Structure 1
Amino acid sequence: MKNCIWQTITVIWFFVPGWVYAQPPISLHPENPHYFLWRGRPTVLIGSGEHYGAVLNLDFDYVRYLKTLARDGLNHTRTFSGTYREIPSSFGITDNPLAPKPLRYICPWARSDQPGYFDGGNKFDLRRWDDAYFQRLKDFMTMAQKCGVVVEFNLFCPFYNDELWAANPMNHRNNINGIGNCPREEVYTLKHKDLTEIQIAFVRKVITELKDFDNLYYEVCNEPYFGGVTMEWQWRIADVIAETEKSLGVHHLISMNIANGRAKVEKLHPAVKILNFHYCVPPDTVALNYHWNVAIGENETGFRGKDDLLYRTEGWDFILAGGALYSNLDYSFTPAHPEGDFLDYKSPGGGSPALRPQLAILKRFMESLPSVNMRPDTESVERVSPALTATCLSQPGKVYAIYLHVPLPNKPKNLRELEKHNVTAELAVRLPAGKYQATWLDTKTGVTAKVETFSTAGGSHTLQSPAFDNDVALRIDRLTE
C-alpha cells in the first residue's frame, strides 16, 4: 500500500488544476537508447498484466486493475484497441478479458440502428466514432498515468482463425458500410483500399485523442507474423503514426512486434524505436538486435506452465541480457478478478499475486543500478559451480549485475525434478584490480542475503553465494580507495 500511496502523491503534482503539465512522453534515453527515459529518470518497464481487454470489455474494472499494478510495484500494461476481439472459446483462456460477453464489447466504431452483429446487438458503422469508447479509453489512460503505469496501446491484431474474423466489426457482415468483404488474411495487406482507409482513419483519430499522455507508446500490430499481415502494411501504419504526430507537435514511441522467440531484424522503419518479442527463452534475441540501438522488449509470455519460477527467471534473464521491457501475461486477472487474485485458472500460462511483487524486485534492482552506463556482458562470469544459468550486465571495472538460476528448458515436463533448494554456488568473476563489495539479493523477498568486501589484484576472483532456492541475484560494486 505504501507504494500505491507514493504513486498517487507523486502524480498529484501533474494533475492539480492550474499547474502546468510539462512532462514529455516516455522516450529512449539519450545516453543509452537501450533504456527508456520517463519523468526525468532512466526506466525499465516491468509488468504482469491482464489479457489485453481492459478497455474493450465493459465488464473489466480497470481502476481496480491499475491500482493493483501500482500496489505491486509494476509500471507496464498492454491493452488492445478494440479493432480486434476474441470469443469465449479462444485459446483456452479462462474468463478471457478479450472475449466480452454479448453487448459488453465496446470499440472505436459506433453501433448503427441496424441489427445483425455477430453475437447480438446492432451492426457497426465504420464511418462514425463511438464517443463512449474514447471517453473510456482516456479515463483508462488517465488512471494509468496516476498509478505510474506506462501503456502499450496495441492498434491492430491479426485474425488467427475464421471465427475471430467472423466476430470483427471490419468484417462486412458486421458493419453497414459493406467494407471488409475479403478473406481474413487480406485485412492488413493494402489490397483493399476501403479497409485501409478505415484503419488509417482510426489511427489518426486515436493518436489525436491520446496526444497529451506521457505514459504511452504505440504498437503497430500484435503478432503480425500470423494471419497474412504484410510488412508494407505495417510500414504504412508506422508512417501514419509518425506523420500524424508530427502535425500535432507530439512524439510517442512506436513499437513493432518482431517474432515469437528470436529473429534478427534486417530492416527497420526509421520511426520504430521499440522491438518487441514474445516467448523469449533463452533471451538471445536481445544480442541479435542490440546493434539497432533501440529498446528491446519481451511483451508477452506464457505456454510454459503455471509456476512462478518460470516467469520470474524469464524476466530476470531478459532484462539482464540487455532488455528494456518485460511484461508477463498474467491470467490471474479476469473481469471477475480485476485485482489479479484468481488462482484456479486453466489458461495457457502463469501469473499470480505472489509473482507480481517478485517481478517488482527486478524493477527496483534495475532502478538501483547506473543502467545507462551498463551493457550486456558475456565475458566477466568465467565459471559457476554447480552448473547454473548466468546472465550479466555490467559497466566493466565499476559495477556488475549478475543473475543465477537453475537451468530450465522452455517447457519443462517436470519442473519439480529441475528445482534445486538450499544451493550454495561458487562464482568466478574476472575483475580489474581494486576493492569491491558483493551484495547478494533474494529474488523472492528482495532481502539482502549476504554482503562482503574484498580486494583483488586483477583477474579471476571467486565468490561464494549464500544458500538459496533456485535463483539469486548479485551486485558487485567497485569501492573508492
Structure 2
Amino acid sequence: MKNFALLSLSLLFFQTLSFGQSSPIQLLKENPHYFEFKGKPLALITSAEHYGAVLNGDFDYKTYLETLHREGMNYTRIFMGSYFEIPSTSFGIKFNTLAPAVGKAIIPWKSSTENGQIKYDWSSYNQSYFERLADFMSLAASLDIIVEVTLFSSIYTDEHWEMNPQNPKNRIGSEGELDRKLAHTKENGQLLGLQKAYIRKLVNELNDFDNFFFEIQNEPWSDRGQPVLNIANKYQIDGPNWMEKVDYADQLSMDWQEEIAATIVAEEKNLPKKHLIAQNYSNFKAPLYDVSEHISIVNFHYNWPESAEWNLHLNRVIGFDESGFAGTEDLVYRRQAWAFMLAGGGLYNNLDYSFFVGKENGTGINEAPGGGSTPFRSQLKILSELIHSLNLKKVSPAKDLIYGSPGILSSALHDGSGGYLIYLIAAGKANSRIKMNIKPGSYSIQMISPITGEIKDLGVQQISVSDFILTVNLIEGEQAIRIIRQ
C-alpha cells in the first residue's frame, strides 16, 4: 500500500510537470490560416516600430512593449543584427529605429576598431546582445506579444554594404571581396558557414521562448528580383518602377533560403521546442507556385487582399508583415488591414513610424514613407477584438455572401455558425445597399464604426428570403457589420 501511494504521488508529479509545459505558437490545427497560442486561437494584428527595438541600444523597448500591450497590439517584428541602416540617410526616414546612432548598434558579434573601421568577429559572440535579446523576449512573453524574428534582410545599396557585418571587409579574419547581391546565396564563399553558425546560435538562445516565430529574410527579391506580374494593367513586367510590378526572389535566393530553413529545423530537432518559420515572397500580391514544407507563414509586403485569396489553398497563415509607402494617413493603413484580414489573412503589421528613440510610447511625429499613431492603434484594436470575437477554428472568407454592393467595396468572413463579419468602403457611393445571399432565419445585426468602435444595434431581424437587401449609410466612408445567427 505504501509503495502504491508513492507510485501515485510520482505519477501525479510527472503529470503536473507535463501539463505545466508550455508550447510555442503554432498553426491552428482546425484552421491553419490562423495561429494557436496558450490553447487559444489567435490572429496577429499590430502597428509596430521599424524593427530595431533590440539592436538599437538607445531604444527603450520596455516602454515600447508596454505601450503595445496597453493599446491592444499582440505582435512585433525585429531584425537580429545581420543588417541595420545608416542614420539620417535610409529611405527618407528622419527618425529610424533600424538606424542606430554611431556606436549604438548592439549586434550578435563582438567588434573592434582598426584604423577607424569597425571589424566584426564572427567567431566570438557579444554577450551583451544576447542578454538584451533575452530580456526583450521575456518581457514580450509576459505581455503575450508574439515576436517575428527576422534573421536576414536584403542589402539594398552599396552604401549599406560598406558598413554591413557580412561584408568580408568588415569581418575579422576574412579576405577578398563579395558582391552584396550574392551575400544571400550559396555562392557567398565562407560566409555561408558563418551564417549557418549564427543561425544555430540564435536557435539555441531562443529555444526556451514560446512567443516567436522565425522569418528567413526580409524582401529577398530586392537582391536580384525576377519580375513576374505587373499591377498597373500594362502586361509588361520589366518596367523600372518597383511599385508597378511584383518581383519574386530568384532560384539562387530560394535555394539559399531553403538551406537556412533546413538549418533551423535540423538544429531544433534535438531541442525541446519547435518553432514556426515564415518566408517573405513579394510585394503587393502574387499566386505562389510552390512553398517549402518547412514554411508555415507566407508573408507579403504592401499587400493587396488578393494575396490572401489566391493563396488560401496553401493552408498556411498568409501575412501582411510590412505596410508603408502610401502616405501618413491612418485611413490608408486601417483600410488595408480590414480588407486583408477579411480576405482570409492571419497576420497584419503596420510599419509604425510614431515609435522612435525618445518616443517609445508611440506619440512621435516623423518624416517617413508611412504612418502610425495612437489613434490608429486604437482603430486596429477594434479590428482585432472583432476578429477574435469569431470562432477562428471555423472562420473562412465569405466570398459568395454579397452579390451586389453598388458604389461600395465589400469583404466578409463567415464565422462557421451562420454569422458574418462584413467590411464596406465607399467607392463612389456612401448611401447604398448590399445584396446578400443568406440562409433564412433570425439574425442580430449591428453596425460598427471601424474608427470609433461605436455600435448601432439594429436588433434581431427575421430574414425569410435568401436574397436579403440591407440599406447602409457609410457616414465615415467605412462600415463594419456584424451579423449573428440566433
Structure 2 length-normalised TM? 0.88
Q: Is the 8 A contact 2:22 2:38 kept in 1?
A: yes
Pairing partner for 2:479 from 454, 464, 472: 472
What SS is found at the alignment partner of 1:403? strand
Q: Distance in 1 between matches of 2:54 and 2:336?
A: 28
How far, CA to CA, are the matches of 2:186 and 2:177 in structure 1?
14
1:405 aligns with 2:412: no
1:47 aligns to what SS in structure 2? strand
Divergent runs of 4+, >3 A: 18-21, 112-116
How far apart are 1:394 and its partner, in Å?
0.8
Q: Note if 1:239 corresponds to 2:262.
A: yes
Structure 2 match to 1:3: none
CA drift at 1:379: 1.2
The 5 A counterparts of 1:38-53 are 38-53=37-52
Q: Determine the C-alpha separation between the residues in 2 that align with 1:171 and 1:389.
A: 48
Amino acid at match of 2:317: A
For the Cα contact (< 8 Å) 1:440–1:466, is it kept in 2? no
**For 1:396 and 1:463, how far apart are their aligned partners in 2?**
21
User: Offset at 1:254?
Assistant: 0.2
- Alpha-carbon distance between aligned partners in 2 of 1:461 and 1:150, rounded to the nearest angstrom: 40
Secondary structure at 2:195's aligned position in 1? Answer: helix
The aligned length equals 442
Aligned to 1:392: 412
Map 1:353-368 onto structure 2 (within 5 A). Answer: 353-368=374-389
Query: Partner amino acid for 1:225?
Result: W
Percentage of pairs with the same residue: 39
The reply on whether 1:371 has 2:392 as its aligned counterpart is yes
Match of 1:264 among 287, 293, 306: 287
Q: Which amino acid aligns with 2:381?
A: A
- In the alignment, which residue of structure 1 is the partner of 2:206? 210
1:315 aligns with 337
Instruction: State the secondary structure of the residue aligned to 2:129.
Output: helix
Alignment partners' CA distance in 1, 2:19 and 2:107: 32
Distance 2:157 2:206 in 1: 31
Q: Write out aligned runs for 1:38-77 (5 A).
A: 38-77=37-76
Aligned to 2:450: 443
Q: C-alpha distance in 2, partners of 1:452/1:467? A: 19
Are residues 1:254 and 2:277 paired?
Answer: yes
1:295 aligns to 2:356 (yes or no): no
Counterpart amino acid of residue 38 in structure 2: R
- Matches of 1:299 and 1:102, distance apart in 2: 28
Structure 1 unpaired stretches of 5+? 1-17, 408-417
How far apart, CA to CA, are the structure 2 residues paired with 1:114 and 1:248? 39
When residues 216 and 323 of structure 1 are mapped into structure 2, their CA distance, relative to the original with a 3 A threshold, is: same
Give per-residue Cα distances to partners, 1:247-277, cap 9 Å, x unaligned: 2131111000010011121111101000000
CA RMSD of aligned residues (A): 1.8
Letter in 2 for 1:391: S
| SS of the residue 2:190 aligns to | helix
**Structure 1 CA distance for aligned equivalents of residues 190 and 125 of structure 2:** 17
Counting only pairs closer than 5 Å after superposition, residues 68-467 of structure 1 correspond to structure 2 as 68-88=67-87, 89-112=89-112, 114-117=114-117, 122-178=118-174, 181-228=177-224, 230-281=253-304, 283-343=305-365, 345-385=366-406, 387-395=407-415, 398-407=418-427, 423-465=430-472
Matched-pair contact (CA < 8 Å) for 2:31–2:394:
yes
Counterparts of 1:103 and 1:163, CA distance in 2: 17
Q: Cα offset for 1:115?
A: 4.8
1:278-321 deviation digits (Å, cap 9, x = unpaired): 0113x101111111100001000011111111000100110000
The CA deviation at 1:238 is 0.5
Deviation of the 1:78 alpha carbon: 0.5
Contact 1:375 1:395 in 2 (8 A): yes
Partner of 2:227: none
Aligned residue number for residue 14 of structure 1: none
In structure 2, how many angstroms separate the alpha carbons of the residues matched to 1:362 and 1:444?
9
- SS at the partner of 1:371? coil
- Offset from partner CA, 1:149-170 (integer Å, 9 cap, x none): 1000000001111011111111
Q: Report SS of the residue matched to 1:298.
A: strand
- CA separation of 1:456 and 1:289: change in aligned 2, threshold 3 A: same
| Comparing 253-262 and 139-148, the one that deviates more | 139-148
Equivalent AA in structure 2 for residue 92 of structure 1: G
- When residues 116 and 194 of structure 1 are mapped into structure 2, their CA distance, relative to the original with a 3 A threshold, is farther
CA contact (8 A) 1:171 1:180 kept: no
Task: Tell me, in whole angstroms, the C-alpha distance in 1 between the residues paired with 2:59 and 2:432.
Answer: 45
The amino acid of 1:264's aligned partner reads: P
Q: Tell me the CA shift for residue 467 of structure 1.
A: 5.4
What secondary structure is seen at the aligned counterpart in 1 of 2:91?
Answer: helix
Q: Which runs of no fewer than 5 residues in structure 2 stay unpaired?
A: 1-16, 225-251
- Return the TM-score normalized by structure 1: 0.89
> 1: distance between equivalents of 2:25 and 2:472?
37
Rounded to whole Å, the distance in 2 between the matches of 1:158 and 1:175 is 18
Work out the CA distance in 2 between the residues paired with 1:305 and 1:45.
23
Report how far residue 173 of structure 1 moved: 1.9
Do the aligned residues in 1 keep the contact of 2:426 with 2:474 (CA within 8 Å)? no
Secondary structure at 2:22 match in 1: coil
Report the CA distance between 1:179 and its aligned residue: 5.5
Inter-CA distance 446–186: structure 2 relative to 1 (3 Å threshold): same
Per the TM alignment, residue 458 of structure 1 is displaced from its structure 2 partner at its CA by 3.1
Asked if 1 retains the 8 angstrom alpha-carbon contact of 2:390 and 2:415, the reply is: no
